[in-house]
Amino acid sequence: MRTLIRMELLKLRKRRMTWIMLGMLVGLRLAGTAFSVFWSSQAGVEPEIRERILASATLPNTIPDALNFIAGLGAFLLAILTAASMGSEYSWGTLRAIIGSGVPRSRFLAAKLIALSTAAVAYTVVPLVIVVGAAVPMAWLLDRPIMASGIDGPWVGDVLLMMARTVLPLLAQVAMAFAITVVTRSQAAGVGVALAATFVEPLAALVLDMLGGALAAIADYLLLVNAQALMQYNGFGTVQVPQGTLSQTHAVLVILDWMALYVTTALLVFRRRDIEVRSAA
């Protein structure tokens, strides 16, 4: 199993797409911050908004804000990475080479999921570290304290919790894209359906909410609704969440359930199905 995980990590590490998307995540966040800071220095920007932008560019607020950004774009990019990683095994025919060498199907899937989960963690940690690093010169440029006050108590634990709240939905996203790709055996379908879900789900949640009653309750069990609810709790110390936000326990349990559902589906389908040996026409 360890060698299989090493195999999957090697494939991910040497793939340019992995790094391009990580670069996008970091680059877009930094560029976005730089742009909004620049924009806030223009005349006519309300001081309140300017203050919020500058706070978001520096510590400590830059941490939850960056994680919010990662949760959004990162989920997108990880869906693509996951679908590409599994989908190309089908399209390149490498799946038959690997499975045909005697690797048990379930172990292959597990190793791939673990490697992709590692990528999800890296997609959270690496941009965060860089953003935090960039916040220091930013504070100096803006002539603000490196670490604005307002934090009382231990903040390292808070940061770790925030990261966990970000990674969990990302893992669910990986599981979803993975399951769709395994079931459809297509990278395009994996990316397409995973991305479509990101748009359709909030819409569905909205419609269900409007219909009210029992239907509105269904929305409480949608993946993204819970992912978003969980992100609401990101912050330092005691965080004030809006009224009616789902509880953290509820959100975590629902997300874990979705993950279990996706992983089990992928496993069951993959184990039962023949591996196509005819070359792609």
Ligand X SMILES: Nc1ncnc2c1ncn2[C@@H]1O[C@H](COP(=O)(O)OP(=O)(O)OP(=O)(O)O)[C@@H](O)[C@H]1O
Min dist. Cβ of residue 278 to ligand X (A)? 5
Restricted to residues 17-76, the positions that interact with ligand X (CB under 6 A) are none
Stretch that binds other proteins, among 33-41, 152-160, 220-228, 273-281 (CB under 8 A): 273-281
11 binds other proteins (CB under 8 A): yes
From the list ligand X, other proteins, none, which binds 35 (C-beta under 5 to 8 Å, kind-based)? none
Residue closer to ligand X (CB basis): 69 or 90:
90
Restricted to residues 252-281, the positions that interact with ligand X (CB under 6 A) are 276, 278
Restricted to residues 72-131, the positions that interact with other proteins (CB under 8 A) are 88, 92-94, 96-104
From the list ligand X, other proteins, none, which binds 199 (C-beta under 5 to 8 Å, kind-based)? none
From the list ligand X, other proteins, none, which binds 247 (C-beta under 5 to 8 Å, kind-based)? none
Restricted to residues 16-45, the positions that interact with other proteins (CB under 8 A) are 16
Residue closer to other proteins (CB basis): 99 or 218:
99
The CA-CA-CA angle for residues 4, 86, 280, to 5°, reads 115
From the list other proteins, ligand X, none, which binds 145 (C-beta under 5 to 8 Å, kind-based)? none
Positions that interact with ligand X (CB under 6 A): 276, 278
